[in-house]
Amino acid sequence: MSDPLAELVARCQEGDVAAFRELVQKTQDEVYNLAYRVLGNSQEAEDIVQEVYLRVWRALPGFRGEARFSSWLYRITLNACLNRRRELRTQLHVLDAEEALEQLAAPAHENPVELAIEHERKASLWRAVSRLPRKYRLVLTMFYQQQLSYKEIAEHLALPLGTVKAHLNRARRALAGLLRRKREKKSEDKDVAV
């Protein structure tokens, strides 16, 4: 399969700064989102994005196009995030998850009240993802947000395919378990109120 960014990358390799700007514009959302999901902090994610693109700028002349540019960029981003996370260890706070979610606007719907309730339920699930163990959060991000296949995730994380699927399934079950406990708690609160 041909790389849609191949032509742009070729221009960047010639030192075309304007082409590099276009490349950053096309890919920065993916890079930022991955960094944010791994590190859970917007400031750290911004620093990582800058570091990643500096590395890419320096290493582009040596990029031979054997893999797709997006895969190469993804690998650099992941390595940078995991290294940074190791440095920061427990200092990272997941401060911004709720902030970012509050910025989401609910689309128009016939029954806005029901929609708002449903949206809030989903938002609480998305917040719950940020509390899952890192390995589950990472595979969820790569599968659902970066739209990578199981095979691609296995290659990026150097894990067996079965392990990737197992992580995803355990993450899904963990989230379903949270949902079950929340509903049980709600029905208990209703019983108490009555």
Binding site for other proteins (CB under 8 A): 15, 17, 20-21, 24-25, 28-33, 36-37, 42, 46, 49-50, 53-54, 57-59, 61-62, 100, 104, 121-122, 125-126, 129, 140, 144-145, 154, 158-163, 165-166, 168-170, 172-173, 175-176, 179-180
CB of 138 to other proteins, least distance (A): 14
CB of residue 46 to other proteins, shortest distance in Å: 6
Dig out the tokens for 96 from the structure. Answer: 């911004």
Rounded least distance, CB 50 to other proteins, Å:
5
Could you tell me the two tokens for 179? 């949902």
Longest Cα pair distance anywhere in the chain, in angstroms? 73
Closer to other proteins by CB, 50 or 83: give it. 50
* CB of 129 closer than 8 Å to CB of 137: yes
Question: CB of 42: closest distance to other proteins in angstroms?
Answer: 7
Shortest separation between residue 70's beta carbon and other proteins, angstroms:
15
> Token pair of 11, please?
């221009």
Residue among 104, 112, 82, 95 at smallest CA distance from 43: 95
Q: Which CB, 134 or 173, lies closer to other proteins?
A: 173
Question: Based on CB atoms, which residue is closest to other proteins, 131 or 172?
Answer: 172
Residues 6+ apart with CB under 8 A from 106: 112, 115, 116, 119
Residues 6+ apart with CB under 8 A from 52: 31, 35, 73, 76, 77, 80
Nearest-CA neighbor of 89 among 30, 134, 141? 134
Q: Which is nearer to other proteins, 92 or 126 (CB)?
A: 126
**C-beta of 103 vs 193, nearer to other proteins:** 103
Amino acid present at 170:
R
